[in-house]
Amino acid sequence: MTYHNPEAETMARGEIEAIQNKRLKETVAHAMRGNAWFRQRFQEAGIDPSTFRGLEDLQKLPFMSKKDFRDQYPLGMCCVPKSELAEMHMSSGSTGTPVVMPYTPADLRQWADCMARCYVMAGARAGDVCQITPGFGLFNGGFGCYHGARAAGLFVVPTGAGNTARQVKLAHDFGTRVITGVVSYTLRIMEVMAETKTTLPDLKIGIFGAESFSDEMKRRIHDGLGIEAFDIYGMTETGGIGTLGMDCPEHCGLHQWEDQYIVEIVDPKTGEVLPDGQVGEVVATSLTREALPVIRFRTGDLSRIVSREKCGCGRCHLRLDRISGRLDDMLIISGVNFFPLQIEQALLKIPGVLPEYRLIIKDHDGTKKLRVEVEAKPGVTGHQVAKVLKEVLGFTPEGDVYAPGSLPHAEGKAKRVIYEKD
């Protein structure tokens, strides 16, 4: 087994907890020293950095939320002078005040190290051709993949988003071995490959983030491209893609880089920490970030801790289950609570159903109705789809089956849920 940072990645549990304890104390002191907003919040919670006991007092620290980032836009929570900043990125959301993450040079190195660990864990080796399909701009995806690829010694093909025919041609011409992006865009790449009768024999590794995707979708990608698909985790607030971790070749959970972050699972309603194995909200605390350390940040993501035991890959960093949904993505139709990922899992178990689908939510005088539209090969009937969805949801949504290529296909992150008003 190969590691990018062997000392950090092969720490035993006791070593991980010792370094977390030390770095948590340093992070709390740094935040209180460097920023009035943190200082006031912690003082109100009775936190004194001189007596703060680290992990033992972790749950005394107040939570942070996305609202805090927006209220303090653009740099109200920054803990270093503006003159020390080297870069910034922000959330890709198109509405409301954006979430901004500033970086010092040390923060960029930390991000690059986390991403490089992910590349190497997936099997990438120095000199491999890495094609980066997320856009290069304010959104962190493209630059995070780039910083990590450079740190891992990869040969970068920085295509960015869109122009899929060119993406496929470049992957063929340069012998791309590693591709990064959102999983829904990979489906579009597969379509263009079929249209142009192009094969990519060198492509072996796919690293996908920004969207939750099911085991069924992972199998479709594997069967279509012959690659091993990895689910990478990280967000703007934690410093970008890959900062929290990724699944390893064992594919038994998302390893969290615990020397860099503390990860908790809490009850979304009460905020109480839940036992390992129970599903709740992921809470992240950064341990080495300088410009804007997140401290007990409520991500809104739902998951559970799978294990803290040593993995077959040799790492003891705890493993989260795949992200099953976001609290703000939960749909409530006909009194039933569910997540879009559950629909995907159900649809892709039906032989002949293709990965392109849309969930259309219609609001009629305050009553919501669900319509499911999905592409499928000839022979798949609407009755088959309706029967499977009723088993999953407990009610039968409206919907229809469409011929391949009939639904809109995204040149980037897919918009699966569409809201309409009658």
Q: End of a domain among 294, 327, 360?
A: 327
Question: Is residue 307 domain-shared with residue 365, that is, in the same domain?
Answer: no
The residue among 282, 302, 327 that closes a domain is 327
Task: Give residue 299's pLDDT.
Answer: 96
Same domain as 341, residue 313 = no
Are 203 and 284 in the same domain?
yes
> What's 352's domain CATH number?
3.30.300.30
Angle between helix 164-174 and 183-196 (nearest 10): 80
Based on the structure, what is the number of domains in the chain? 2
Q: Are residues 410 and 279 in the same domain?
A: no
Work out the burial of residue 382: count CB atoms within 10 Å of its CB; fewer than 13 is exposed, 13-18 middle, 19 or more buried: middle
Residue 70 has phi, psi (to 5 degrees) of -70, -40
Range of the structural domain that residue 202 is part of:
1-327
Is the preceding omega at residue 74 within 30 degrees of 0, hence cis? Answer: yes
* CB 79, CB 293: distance < 8 Å: yes
pLDDT of residue 94: 54
**390 with 315, same domain?**
no
Q: Quick one: pLDDT at residue 365?
A: 66
Q: Mark whether 188 and 42 lie in a shared domain.
A: yes
251: left (phi over 0), alpha (psi -120 to 50) or beta: left
Q: Of 327, 342, 373, which marks where a domain is finished?
A: 327
264 and 144 within one domain: yes
In this structure, the answer to whether residues 24 and 158 fall within a common structural domain is yes
- Give the DSSP per-residue string, 405-419: T-S---SSS---EEE
Q: What's the pTM?
A: 0.86
Q: CA-CA distance, 179 to 249, in Å (whole number)?
A: 16
At 216, which CATH number? 3.40.50.12780
pLDDT by residue, tens only, the chain of 422 residues:
689 999 999 999 999 999 999 999 999 999 999 999 999 999 999 999 999 999 999 999 999 999 999 999 999 999 999 999 999 999 865 567 899 999 999 999 999 999 999 999 999 999 999 999 999 999 999 999 999 999 999 999 999 988 899 999 999 999 999 999 988 788 889 889 989 999 999 999 999 987 777 788 888 888 889 999 999 999 999 999 999 999 999 999 999 999 999 999 999 999 999 999 999 999 999 999 999 999 999 999 999 999 999 999 999 999 999 998 888 777 878 777 887 878 888 888 888 888 888 888 887 666 788 888 899 899 888 888 888 888 888 888 887 898 988 888 776 667 788 888 76
Per-residue pLDDT at 89: 97
Whether 317 and 206 map to the same domain: the answer is yes
| Residue 316 pLDDT | 96
Residues 386 and 266 in one domain: no
pLDDT of residue 212: 72
Q: Are residues 50 and 166 in the same domain?
A: yes
Which residues have a Cβ under 8 Å from the Cβ of 270 and sit 6 or more positions away?
A: none
Nearest to residue 378, comparing CAs of 360, 398, 401?
401
Q: Are residues 284 and 346 in the same domain?
A: no
